[in-house]
Amino acid sequence: MTTIPTRPDLSSQVTRLAARLEDAAPLEILSTALEHFGGRIAAVSSFGTESAVLLHMLAQVDRTTPVLFLDTGHLFAETLTYRDALIDRLGLTDVRTYTPDAALRQARDADNDLWASDTDACCGLRKVEPLSRALAPFTAWINGRKRYQAATRAQIPFVEQDDGRVKFNPLAALGAAEIEGWMTANQLPRHPMQRFGFSSIGCMPCTSRALPGEDQRAGRWRGQSKVECGIHVKKTA
């Protein structure tokens, strides 16, 4: 059984890794993460509009790395189709799909309409809780957040401590042009919803198009103060 380091040890690991990777490129960050936490690290992917870049890089380093995917039950059908297409295109061998706990969903959202009255509770049920289960065996994880995506992400580091684990953000410093350049140069398939103007794609009830000049994620939970689903919100206790 994997033992998550104690907090003092975890903090020192994060400090050392952050210093080591301060000016590193994404592939170097990924290689270091997988080398340092071999067998104890997973990537988390939404298989959204820019997910192909991180997954393509990951496949170059080690295509057997576990990739955790949260099927909330409210996703666009196109996202599930895109997931399967990327798995096949990139040769990923260990993509694990997690769904909401059936008993919790029945108790809290039997009619599948919790999103309409309490988006935080819906995200907690359909994303935060499943991810907690998915990450249980791992000491570290990788995600694809980037600083340019929204004002709330402008300061994310390459390495951080999050809820007792080390979290790597290897694409943090990449801009929109670099993401587009990687997609084009490697002929990576696009999420089908992009052609309809969706720049960031989550659950169908809470996703709309971002307008020109808006942050990439402006179409998520439009009209609310909510800007994150909760899986990237650090716990305070």
| Domain range for 147 | 7-196
Instruction: Return the pLDDT at 149.
Output: 82
- State the pTM of this model: 0.89
The Cβ-side half-sphere exposure at 41, using a 13 Å CA radius, reads 21
Q: Is residue 185 part of a domain?
A: yes
Identify the CA nearest to 70 among candidates 232, 234, 197, 183.
Answer: 232
What does the pLDDT read at residue 3? 44
For residue 208, tell me if it sits in a domain.
Answer: no
Spatial separation of the C-alpha atoms in residues 49 and 192, rounded to whole Å: 9
Spacing of C-alpha 77 from chain mean position = 18
Residue 76 domain-assigned (yes or no): yes
Domain count within the chain: 1
- Separation of alpha carbons 215 and 134, rounded Å: 29
The answer to whether position 154 is within a domain reads yes
> What CATH code is carried by the domain that includes residue 135?
3.40.50.620
Is 235 contained in some domain? no
- Check residue 233 and give its pLDDT: 66
Give yes or no: 122 in active site.
Answer: no
Provide block-wise average pLDDT over 10 residues at a time, the chain (237 residues).
Answer: 53 90 95 95 96 98 98 97 97 98 97 95 96 96 89 88 93 94 97 90 90 80 77 58
Domain annotation covers residue 138:
yes
Q: Which residue has the tokens 């690991």?
A: 13
Secondary-structure breakdown of the chain: helix, strand, coil percentages, each rounded to the nearest 5: 45, 10, 45
Given a contact cutoff of 8 angstroms between Cβ atoms, the answer to whether 106 and 73 are in contact is: no
Is residue 214 situated within a structural domain? no
